[in-house]
Amino acid sequence: MSLPRRGAPDLGDARDRIVAGASSAAAMLEESLAAAGTPPCRHTFVRRFDNQARAAAAAVDTLHAAGAPLPPLAGLAVSIKDLFDVAGQPTTGASAALADAPPATADCPAVARLRAAGAALVGHTNLSEFAFSGLGLNPHHGTPANPVTAALDATPRAPGGSTSGGAVSVATGAAWAALGSDTGGSIRIPAAFQGLVGFKSTQSLVPLDGCIPLSSSLDTACAITRSVADAVRMHAILAARTPRPAVRPLEGLRLAVPRTLMLDGLDDHVAAAFDAALAALSAGGARIVEINLPELAELATLNAAGGLPAAESWTWHRRLLAERGARYDPRVAARIRRGETMSAADYLDLLHARRDWIARVQAAFAGFDAALSPTVPIVAPPLAPLEADDKLFFATNALVLRNPAVVNFLDGCALSLPCQPPGTLPVGLMLWAPAFADDAVLGAALQVESALAAREA
C-alpha cells in the first residue's frame, strides 16, 4: 500500500530506511531504547522488554539479509499499554492491586498480530489505573509529564489518558507506534495533547480478548502513531484487514460540523486552531456544513448514573475491590463504585436507549463523509493542580472526555490529528463517523492532514 509522508519521520519512513540499507532494525531499535531511558520518558514504562525486543529486531535483520521479505513493522519499536497480555509478562493495568499478577501464558490477539507483523515490543506502558481517566495521572507509577508541551512551556502538563505512556513513547521516539485502548477517548485525548495521531476504529474490528476490560460495550483496541499513513498501517495489522481509504480530492468531501455540545466551552487557543483548520479545508474545496445534532444534548441524561463504564467496570472489579480496594487509586475506585448502585433494569434500559440513539445519529450522518470537531475542548492542563485537587480533577476529566466519548457511545470510528499552528500547544482535530465508516474516515483524514500541512509550507 503506497501512502503519503507527512511532517516528521514516521514508521513508514523508518521501514524505508531499512529496506534501502540505510540502517538496520537492530540499529533503529537501539535508538528507540536509548530514547526510552531519557528524562522525557520518566514514568512512561511500567516494565520494559529490551532483550525480547532486541531478539525480534535481530531476527528481522537476519531474514532481511537472507533475502526474505521485510515484514510490515520491520523490527521497529512498538509499545504496549499495560492492559494487553504479552506472553511471559504480567498484565497489571498500572495498578498496585495487581502488582503480584502472574505472567501471561500467551499473547492476546492484538499483540500476537503486532508480533507476527515484525514489531519489536519494547515494553508495557503506563496509563491511568485500569484506564479510568482521560488525563493520564497515576499515583502508583508516577505520571509522565507531557514531553511535547515541555518543549514549549515550562509548566508540566498532563499527558492525556488513559494511554498516557503510549503517547509519550511515540512522542519521545521510544516507539514508532503504541498499542492502546479507547473507551471514551483514551487514544485520541493523549494524541491531541501531544500533537500525535490517534485512530479509534469501529470496536468490533479488533479483538479484545486478553485485555483487562473497562467497559465491554465501549472498549476499542487501537493505536497512536505519528501520521495518518501510519494509522492506516497499524489498523491493517490490528484489524487483520486491508483498509481501502478512499483518497479522494478535498473538493469531493462533504464534512459536517455539529454545533451541539462539541463546540461548547472551547479555550481560546483550541477555538482559534479549529476555526483556522476549517478555513483551510474550506479554501481547499471541502464542503463544510454546520448542523444541529440535538441527540448530543441527551448524553448527559443518558449517562447521569455513570453510564456503561460504571456498570461494566463494576462487574469486573467488584471482587478485586472487595479484596484489595485499599490498593486502588481512590479516584478510580470511586468511579467504579458508581456501578454498584445500578440495577440490571437500569443497565438494560441504557442499552436499549443507546440503540435508539445510535439509529437517530446515524440517520443524521446521511450524505456526509465525516464530522469535524475539536478532539478536546482545552489544551493539556497543568499537572500539579490536577494532582492536588479532586474537584478540579473530576471536572477537568469530564471536560476532556466529553467530545471523544460521543464516538464511543455511537459505536463509531474517529481519528484525531494535530491542527495547531507551529510552535504552539497541541490541538487535536477529530474526524468521526458511525460504525464501519473506518475507510471513509481514514481517507478523509489523509486529505485533511495534507491540506493542513500545505498551509504551513
200 among known catalytic residues = no
What is the chain's mean pLDDT, rounded? 96
Closest CA to 233 of 304, 198, 242, 340: 242
pLDDT by residue (tens digit) across 122-160? 999 999 999 999 999 999 999 999 999 999 999 999 999
pLDDT band (50, 70, 90) for residue 8: confident
pLDDT by residue (tens digit) across 309-354? 999 999 999 999 999 999 999 999 999 999 999 999 999 999 999 9
pLDDT by residue (tens digit) across 68-120? 999 999 999 999 999 999 999 999 999 999 999 999 999 999 999 999 999 99
The pLDDT value recorded for residue 3 is 41
Say how far apart CA 447 and CA 167 lie, in whole Å: 23
Closest CA to 15 of 166, 168, 117: 117
Say how far apart CA 354 and CA 121 lie, in whole Å: 37
The pLDDT value recorded for residue 247 is 76
Closest CA to 194 of 31, 376, 455: 376
pLDDT band (50, 70, 90) for residue 457: low
Cell numbers at residue 27, please? 540499529
Say how far apart CA 409 and CA 299 lie, in whole Å: 9
| Single-letter amino acid code for the residue at 33 | L
pLDDT band (50, 70, 90) for residue 456: confident
Longest dimension (CA), the chain: 62
pLDDT by residue (tens digit) across 231-284? 999 999 999 999 999 878 999 999 999 999 999 999 999 999 999 999 999 999
- Residues present in the chain in total: 457
Q: How far is CA 378 from the centre of its chain?
A: 17
DSSP letters spanning 413-448: EEEEEE-SPTTS---EEEEEESTT-HHHHHHHHHHH
Phi–psi pair at 366, nearest 5 degrees: -55, 130
Asked if the model's pLDDT at residue 285 lies above 50, the reply is: yes
pTM value? Answer: 0.97
* C-alpha to C-alpha distances, 126 to 31, 180, 385, nearest whole angstrom: 20, 10, 20
Residue-wise over 164-203: b if at least 16 C-beta within 10 A, else e?
A: bbbbbbbbbbbbbbbbbbbbbbbbbbbbbbbbbbbbbbbb
For 164-190, what is the mean pLDDT? 98
Please identify which of the residues 32, 169, 186, 227 carries the catalytic annotation: 186
Percent of the chain residues past pLDDT 90, beyond the cut? 96
Cell numbers at residue 19, please? 529496506
Please identify which of the residues 24, 32, 79, 81 carries the catalytic annotation: 81
pLDDT by residue (tens digit) across 130-139? 999 999 999 9
For 52-66, what is the mean pLDDT? 97
Asked if the model's pLDDT at residue 430 lies above 70, the reply is: yes
Burial bucket for residue 384 (CB in 10 Å: 0-12, 13-18, 19+) = exposed
The pLDDT value recorded for residue 7 is 63
For 223-231, what is the mean pLDDT? 98
Provide the H-helix boundaries in 66-132.
109-116
The pLDDT value recorded for residue 2 is 38
Please identify which of the residues 24, 162, 215, 416 carries the catalytic annotation: 162
Q: Strands 428-433 and 413-418, how do they pair?
A: antiparallel
For 14-36, what is the mean pLDDT? 97
